Structure 1
Amino acid sequence: MAGLSDTLARLAQAQRAATMGAASMGYADQTAADSGRLQALEDFGANPGALRALSFVPEAAAGTRMPLVVVLHGCTQTAAGYDRGSGWSELAEEQGFAVLYPEQQRGNNGNLCFNWFAAEDIRRGGGEAQSIRSMITTMVRDCPIDPDRIYVTGLSAGGAMASVMLATYPELFAAGAIIAGLPYGTATSMSQALDRMRGRGLPDSAALAALVDGASPATMRIPRISVWHGDGDGTVVAANADAAVAQWRGVHGVAQAPDEVEQTADHLHRRWRDAQGQVVVEEYRIRGLGHGTPLATTGADGLGEAGPHMLEAGISATRHNAAFFGIAGQPAARPTDARPAPATASARAGSPVRSPLASRSGGSQIGDMIDGALRAAGLLR
């Protein structure tokens, strides 16, 4: 078997080919996108992960402290590109909270992925996790941020890095949202990362919870978790959503069966409550959605802009997650044929469901092209 350094070199070559192929297909790298709202955060202290930071802070009323949402972009994306697509800073201005965007650099990862699978970057006190923690500390120090209302969310590799932050620094976060991401601690090498993305070798529920329990000192605070995934995702398969839910169910000590299930034509929504009745884990499984962040860009609550891995789905993960965090109201209800229903075995397993929304797969062509590049590099069979 090839050594890790050789593997990484081959992957970097494959990533460059994938990015060039995406551009030739009309799926340009999102580094050129600019939301026009974000400002660079300079001198934020220890930065062993060599990340960049950008932020948006609306004007605050005198004497008030605002919530902070940490947002982690996906591969091939930048902070500004993801902000433009997701609409987080637009919502922040509307609702009066701050946004922090850690940003990956090409010197760390040729495809701008956060290194959620690298042991040195996913431990408390080191690498990219420490860099993000430094950014948060600086925001709390220099801006009117309420330290009890800090949240984190991310897409894909950013979703996996959100899992890292929630596990390694749970005392920082009141809640988090993992979108098309992976559970914490399941991969510590590139080959493992590729296997986990395809649902191979995921630990059982007890082992998943133990990974989080061992990632930080004992804490009285356990973040509430929202997990989002499309059942048409061929890049990070939906088994990872099942594993993320199982991981945090175990940490919170709630039952396997959800307390509430809502089934609509567009999605499955499940909630788990603790002994006090608070929703501590929830899951949205979006019918027919490929690899990306679900958006609702039209209507009264329209937000964000569709693009590569930013997928129109009739439901805004940004607005719903802000509501789950408790920093914005619930989005206006859209017409639906919602039918409350018990969770079926297939829904619990996350098996694909064919629907008229299957055309929303969006990034499937990119996923196929990347898979081809990885196979050509000998990293995928």
Structure 2
Amino acid sequence: MLSIRRLASLALLVSSALGAQLTQVNNYGENPTGVQMWVYVPDNRPQNPAVIVAMHWCTGTAQAYYSGTQYARQADSKGFIVIYPDAPDSGGCWDVHSDATLRHDAGGDSKAIASMVKYAIQNYGADPNKIFMTGTSSGAMMVNVLAGSYPDLFKAGSANAGVPFGCFRGQDMWHSQCANGQVSKSAQQWGDDVRNAYPGYGGPRPKMLLFHGANDDTLRYPNYNEALKQWSNVHGVSLTSTKQNTFQNGYTESIYGNGEVVGYSVGNGPHNLPAHEDKVLAFFGL
């Protein structure tokens, strides 16, 4: 059986033969933790393309997320750029716990990823009004972190099986109580956690799209409802619509406000859900 890294290498060879390829960028800006930047820039793109930051799961890599999702293939037809950060942690998890990563411009992995976005704006002419992010598991947790720490950079985020901003706060990379769905706060408390990440910020906040499986045995299902509480409070919106079996059987859609926050609860869904690239891109307006 081919390893994930071997499959990723083969995918890189194929993309190279077709033209655009996944490329590493060094010296992209402030990088306090040593996060690697990989980027896919399609050959055909508008003068000011959109950017999607796509973040891998624990034990994953930028290459694995590149080859395991369809964002680069969609980029070829839609003309957006995809940034694939690669976590420096030996286990491949993102720093979603440190005080630095949970504060604007303070450091941590989030600071490095923010630098990647600024690099793309400066060097690829990316449209600063079309910067988005998506991620799975640990990458989904980083989506929530970036939405709180850098709301000035991102217009929308999609988190596939994550936890609320700040839920993993602590000294260790892993927070068992949060992962097990045992951290519960009021919507106001969760919202305050986000607002305290960037004191004084009064600008717009990223729209949020959340997916979570009801049978998630890694990041337990209660985290889904806690995240909905958090982001609905941040946006100041309430639940306006709930529909079952929307775009797929077993998916319950919850819309808050005018779609500032949208959630999909997946009945009997495991931790490893599909990426739902088409749904994510539609939410981003791409």
TM-score (norm 1): 0.68
2:263 to 283, 291, 304: 283
Deviations 1:214-267 (A, max 9, x none): 111313211110001111111001111111111010011112xx2222211321
- Say if 1:267 and 1:60 are closer, same or farther in 2 by CA, change over 3 A: same
User: 1:125-204 to 2 correspondence within 5 Å?
Assistant: 125=105, 126-189=107-170, 190=172, 193-204=175-186
SS at match of 1:69: strand
Report Cα offsets for 1:109-142 as digits up to 9, x if no partner: 2210002122233322211111111111111111
Is the counterpart of residue 321 in structure 1 residue 280 in structure 2?
A: yes
CA contact (8 A) 1:209 1:248 kept: yes
Return the alpha-carbon distance in structure 2 between the equivalents of residues 61 and 113 of structure 1.
32
Q: Distance in 2 between matches of 1:201 and 1:262?
A: 27
DSSP-derived class of the 2:32 partner: coil
C-alpha spacing 1:31/1:202, structure 2 compared with 1 (3 Å): farther
Secondary structure (helix, strand or coil) at the match of 1:269 reads strand
Distance 1:76 1:117 in 2: 17
Cα distance in 2, alignment partners of residues 242 and 181 from structure 1: 11
- Aligned counterparts of 1:147 and 1:135: Cα–Cα separation in 2: 12
Where do 1:5-20 residues align within 5 Å? none
| 1:72/1:272 CA distance change after superposition, 3 Å | same
Structure 2 vs 1, CA of residues 117 and 287 (structure 1 numbering), >3 Å: closer, same or farther?
Answer: same
Distance 1:237 1:61 in 2: 39
Unaligned runs of 5+ in 2: 13-20
Distance of 1:279 and 1:209 partners within structure 2: 18
Cα distance in 2, alignment partners of residues 246 and 213 from structure 1: 14
Q: Distance in 2 between matches of 1:61 and 1:154?
A: 23
Question: What does residue 47 of structure 1 align with?
Answer: 31
* Structure 1 stretches of at least 4 aligned residues deviating more than 6 Å after TM superposition: none
3-state SS, counterpart of residue 228 of structure 2: helix
Task: Please give the alpha-carbon distance, in whole angstroms, between the structure 2 residues aligned to 1:124 and 1:322.
Answer: 26
The structure-2 alpha-carbon separation of the partners of 1:61 and 1:29, relative to structure 1 and needing over 3 Å to count, comes to closer
CA contact (8 A) 1:32 1:81 kept: no
Deviation at 1:58, TM superposition (A): 1.2
Q: Using a 3 Å threshold, how does the CA distance of structure 1 residues 239 and 93 change in structure 2: closer, same or farther?
A: same
Matches within 5 A, 1:223-262: 223-255=206-238, 258-262=239-243
* Distance apart, 1:52 and its partner CA: 0.3
Could you report, residue by residue, the CA deviation over 1:51-108 in whole angstroms, capped at 9, with x for unpaired residues?
001011113456x211100011000111111121121111111211110011012xxx
Task: Give the match for residue 55 of structure 2.
Answer: 72
Deviates more, 1:138-147 or 1:33-42: 33-42
- RMSD between aligned alpha carbons? 1.8
Using a 3 Å threshold, how does the CA distance of structure 1 residues 197 and 92 change in structure 2: closer, same or farther?
A: same
Q: Are 2:208 and 2:231, in contact at CA under 8 Å, matched by a contact in 1?
A: yes
SS in 2 for 1:55: strand
Aligned pairs, number: 270
Do 1:160 and 1:184's aligned partners in 2 also have CA atoms closer than 8 Å? yes
TM-fit CA distance, 1:187: 2.6
* Structure-1 separation of matches of 2:4 and 2:220: 23
Q: Distance in 1 between matches of 2:61 and 2:187?
A: 33
Contact 1:29 1:77 in 2 (8 A): no
Q: Is 2:69 aligned against 1:86?
A: yes
* In 2: Cα distance, 1:30 partner to 1:242 partner: 32
CA contact (8 A) 2:129 2:155 kept: yes
Partner of 1:293: 273
Counterpart contact for 1:117–1:187, Cα < 8 Å:
yes
The answer to whether the 8 A contact 2:101-2:145 is kept is: no
- Report if the CA contact (8 A) 1:155-1:178 is conserved: yes
| Partner AA of 1:237 in structure 2 | R
C-alpha change, 1:123 and 1:49, in structure 2 (3 Å) is farther
| Percent identity between the two aligned chains | 26
Q: Report the Cα distance in structure 1 between the residues aligned to 2:45 and 2:76, rounded to whole angstroms.
A: 13
The code of the aligned residue for 2:279 comes to H
State the Cα distance separating 1:48 from its structure 2 match: 0.0
- Alignment-mate amino acid for residue 129 of structure 1: S
Q: Which has the larger radius of gyration?
A: 1
Tell me the secondary structure at the aligned position of residue 264 of structure 2.
strand
